[in-house]
Structure formats: C-alpha cells, structure tokens
Structure 1
Amino acid sequence: MESARYKPGEAVRWLQEGAEGAKKSLREKGRSITQPDIHHTFSQNVRAVAGALLDMGKGAMAEIAHRQAMAREYSLGETAMEVIQPGSAKVVPYDTIRRLEQRGDRTTVITTTSRFVIRPYAYIVAGRLKVPIGWERNGMEVPYELIIEELSARCGLDLEEH
C-alpha cells in the first residue's frame, strides 16, 4: 500500500486572501485617520480608529488560522500514521489504534496510550449549508471524509458514529 500525505486543500488560500484584504483595508483607514480634515469630528475619528483596530484583529486571526492550517498534515504510511501539527509531530502505529469515533465532522482516534482528533480546519458556508474543506492527497484535491475512510481501512477498524 502506498504512502499518502494529507495537507489542507487549495481552498485554505482564501484564509490568506482574507488576511491580506483586512491588512489593505487597515492601511486605507489608517491613511484617512491620520490626514487632517476639518470635516471629521472627534467622535468620527474615534469610531474610525476603533474600526481600524477591529480590522487589524480580524486580519491577524485570519493569518493565524492560515498558518495553523498549513502546518497541519497527516501522513498515512505502511504500518503507521504520522500526525504533524503546529509544535508537535508524532508517529502512531496502526496496531495501537483501538477505536475511531465520529461525531459530526470530528473523528476521535483512540490509541492504547492517547487520543487525538482529526477535524476540518475550515468550512465553506452558504446559507444553512456548512461543508468542510477537503484535503490535498499526494497533490490531488479530495473530499474531507477520504482521510477518515482510508485510516479506517488501514487500521482494519469500523468507524463508530455517535
């Protein structure tokens, strides 16, 4: 069985574009606030500064979400899976995995010594529809659920839904 490397899909670039858009908006607001204008009152300037700070926070959060998503990776090998997340990397042999529990889009992998969760890093939301963004598997876009199905097959375990 060939090795499979799962990384966040191409859609994660939207997080980066959102962060860049927020930075651009912040620069434009910053310029308008610092230019002296007799038409702006003190309260309008305070509102503009508060809006700029809010945009700065949104941009920072989008950038953090993008970096965390890009740092997350799962590698399914012959006998073990490797979990690479920001600040840690661990190898989990398939024979130590005891159960796979799924609740919605989150799957808890329970091993003999620990547990960890595989979950979507982002969603596409359209009205009431919320769909998890998929993965890039060995360079090809695949649906989010494929990693769970492949892990289940490699472990020889059924997925328990709760």
Structure 2
Amino acid sequence: MCAWQVFELAPAGTADSDTGIAAVSRIPGHLEVWWVGANSNSVEGAYWYEGTPWARYLLAPDLASGDGLAAVSRIPGSMEVWWLTFNQSINDAYWYDTAARAAGDPPTAAGRTAATGSAATGSAATGAAVPGPATAAGGAQGGPPVPTA
C-alpha cells in the first residue's frame, strides 16, 4: 500500500487564504496549480512533470484581487486561468503548447478582459514567484515546458 507524501509547495504566509487554489492535469504525468499571492496580489503557479521536481513561476503580477480564481484544461495542449481584479473585471490567461502564455491587462496585454456579472467562482493560495524568460523548453515567464513526444 502506498502512503500519502506531504510537502510544502508555497511557504507559510505567502498564499492568500481567502482565495483558495485552482489546479489542472492536462496530460498524464502533469500537474499545474495556481494561487493568489498573500501580499503581492499576483497570480502565481507551479507545475510538475513526472520525473521532475515542482517548478514555480509568476503568471500575472499585481493583477488579482484575491476574490476568485478558476482554471480548466479543455484539451491536452491547452490551459486557461481566470481571476477577479481590483477593478471588478475578470482576467484570463491561456496557454497553448504552440504559444506562450498571455495575461489580460497591463503589463501583459495579450489576454482578454470581461465585465463582471459573469459567473466566476473558485479560489487560490500563493508562494514566492520564480519568474523567468521564455525559453525553447518553456513558456513566457517561466511557464511549463512543452513535453516532446
């Protein structure tokens, strides 16, 4: 019988406890989780591929109000995250295995913003961000690398 293994993904006090977390598994052997930073109001994330350690990244700095977070992976090559902002809009960040991540509103204006009134529920929790540049193996801002077949 296998026993549960427990570890800390984000250090104590770094996650907004009122928002909760969102997570998806877009392919076998992959996990991705997002949360809102306790003091940074940023959307932060971490990813894991089987056989590798967890890696953390910053998805959207200073954009989240901490009032809601949701995510979905509708197809194996796609992930999408939504969060509520301080101006009562809903921001969206998406990732496709053929494109870098994009987040709504400055500083990365490639995302989409929707007016409030849409149904949006969910939550998030946070840790210190590990931003990184786009690389051949990963998305913008240190996003998950695209596995090769």
TM, length-normalised to structure 1? 0.27
Give the number of the structure whose alpha-carbon radius of gyration is greater. 1
Q: Which has the higher helix share?
A: 1
